[in-house]
């Protein structure tokens, strides 16, 4: 097994609850001719140093993978490299190794950040004109009144056809969430993601919402069994392979929970492509949060699955379905 450490600059620094992120740092993990990616994200996974320690000096990857329960990024990189290797050996794509899904493309959503109503409406309109059928809008950083107004003008701008989903990132209190969900119901929303803070599972369970609820941050650090136990807390579950410990776990949870969306943690091209395969293996109908390549100023290699008209084509070659530096050479990063 070989590790190749990388550090990739973001196009624009990202503000998170754990501080500002200007670069995505991680490891390409190679086992024989398979390649994986371990890219920790503060607040979601172990630290970079913890990930490095977990992956260092491994002689038998398959024997130790069960010991990485508290190191999801490391497990993601290791399990993906093994899966890519096995799929290449069998001459099938990763999505076919993971499941029987035969999807040729995966629908993805466009993201509208926290901007003024006019700017938000223009961004949403442009996304729809570019082929996106689902628009995700960030809420929760402004007052409920302001967010409701933003959603109103976004719906007016895109019309009744496109789906609109909101992400509050845990920014509302229980009272604010109840008020917001009630007032937002008239805008035909697909769902509202993480209306309350991650650890307020009781609050999410008790929300009497006219709008479907999705969980995201609440899933971080939980095992497959513990996430499955949350089936009655929300309508939809947002699955991040890097935070959950691998695409194998995402596929397992997708089959158990049913209504899921696959998203990334602003990963490099290896993990993004793997997430596309996971979504394809599940044959998901909902748009996934995988259109994140443009958030990186640089990447490890050319993207084999770029966004086209609101969808991403699923690579059909063996394994991840790629050639070039993926197939054994060092990455230039």
| Residue pLDDT, tens place only, 262-285 | 999 999 999 999 999 999 999 998
Q: What is the pLDDT of residues 155-199, one digit of tens each?
A: 999 999 999 999 999 999 999 999 999 999 999 999 999 999 999
pLDDT at 19: 73
Domain spans in the chain, listed from the N-terminal domain onward: 2-91, 98-321
Distance in angstroms (rounded) separating the CA atoms of residues 66 and 241: 16
56 Cβ contact list (under 8 Å, min separation 6):
3
pLDDT(218) > 80: yes
Residue 53: predicted pLDDT: 96
pLDDT at 20: 83
Residue 141 vs residues 12, 114, 144: alpha-carbon distances, Å:
19, 8, 9
Q: Which residue among 76, 155, 204, 240 is the active-site one?
A: 240
pLDDT, position 42:
85
Please state which CATH number belongs to domain 2-91.
Answer: 3.30.390.10
138 catalytically annotated = yes
CA distance 259 to 325: 35
> Fold match between 2-91 and 98-321?
no
pLDDT at 159: 97
In angstroms, the CA 83 to CA 59 distance is: 17
Confidence of residue 238 (pLDDT cuts 50, 70, 90): very high
Q: What is the mean pLDDT of residues 112-132?
A: 94
Instruction: Note the pLDDT tens digit of each residue in 280-312.
Output: 999 998 999 999 999 999 999 999 999 999 999
Burial annotation 207-218 (CB, 10 A radius, 16+ → b, else e): bebebbbbbbbb
**Percent of the chain scored above 70 by pLDDT?**
95
Would you call 136 a catalytic residue per the annotation?
no
Please determine, for residue 260, whether its predicted confidence score (pLDDT) is greater than 90: yes
Residue ranges of the annotated binding site for Mg(2+) are 167, 193, 216
Relative to beta strand 236-239, strand 260-262 is parallel
How many percent of the chain have pLDDT more than 90? 87
pTM of the model: 0.94
Helix locations, the chain, DSSP H: 48-55, 61-64, 72-90, 94-98, 117-129, 144-158, 174-184, 201-206, 224-228, 241-244, 247-257, 269-282
When the candidates are 3.20.20.120, 3.40.50.10860, 1.10.1660.10, 2.40.160.10, the CATH number that belongs to 98-321 is: 3.20.20.120
**pLDDT at residue 137 greater than cutoff 80:** yes
Query: C-alpha angle with apex 278: 275 to 279, nearest 5 degrees?
Result: 90
Catalytic residue (one of 24, 85, 88, 138): 138
207 vs 330, residue with greater confidence: 207
Q: How far apart are CA 253 and CA 173, in angstroms?
A: 28
Binding site membership: which residues? 167, 193, 216
């Amino acid at each position: 097994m070989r590790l190749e450490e990388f550090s990739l600059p973001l196009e624009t620094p990202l503000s998170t609850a754990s501080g500002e992120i200007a670069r995505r740092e991680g490891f390409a993990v190679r086992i024989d001719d398979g390649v994986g990616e371990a890219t920790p994200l503060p607040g979601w996974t172990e630290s970079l140093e913890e990930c490095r320690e977990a992956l260092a000096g491994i002689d038998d990857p398959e024997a130790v993978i069960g010991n990485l329960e508290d190191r999801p990024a490391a497990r993601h990189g290791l399990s993906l490299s093994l899966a890519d290797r096995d799929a290449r050996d069998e001459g099938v794509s990763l999505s076919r190794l993971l499941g029987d899904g035969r999807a040729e493309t995966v629908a993805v959503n466009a993201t509208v950040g926290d901007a003024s109503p006019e700017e938000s409406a223009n961004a949403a309109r442009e996304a729809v004109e570019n082929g996106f059928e689902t628009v995700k809008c960030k809420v929760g950083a402004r007052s409920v009144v302001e967010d409701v107004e933003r959603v109103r003008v976004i719906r007016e701008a895109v019309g009744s056809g496109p789906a609109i989903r909101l992400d509050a990132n845990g920014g509302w209190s229980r009272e604010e969430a109840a008020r917001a969900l009630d007032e937002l119901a008239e805008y035909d929303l697909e769902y509202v993601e993480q209306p309350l803070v991650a650890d307020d599972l009781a609050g999410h369970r008790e929300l009497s919402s006219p709008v479907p609820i999705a969980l995201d941050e609440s899933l971080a650090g939980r095992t497959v069994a513990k996430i499955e136990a949350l089936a009655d807390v929300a309508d939809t579950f947002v699955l991040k392979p890097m935070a959950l410990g691998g695409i194998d776990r995402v596929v397992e949870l997708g089959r158990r929970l049913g209504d899921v969306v696959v998203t990334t943690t602003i990963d490099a091209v290896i993990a993004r492509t793997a997430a596309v395969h996971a979504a394809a293996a599940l044959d998901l109908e909902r748009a996934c949060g995988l259109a994140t390549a443009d958030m990186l100023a640089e990447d490890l290699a050319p993207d084999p699955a770029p966004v086209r008209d609101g969808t991403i084509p699923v690579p059909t070659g063996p394994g991840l379905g790629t050639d070039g530096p993926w197939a054994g050479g060092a990455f230039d990063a």
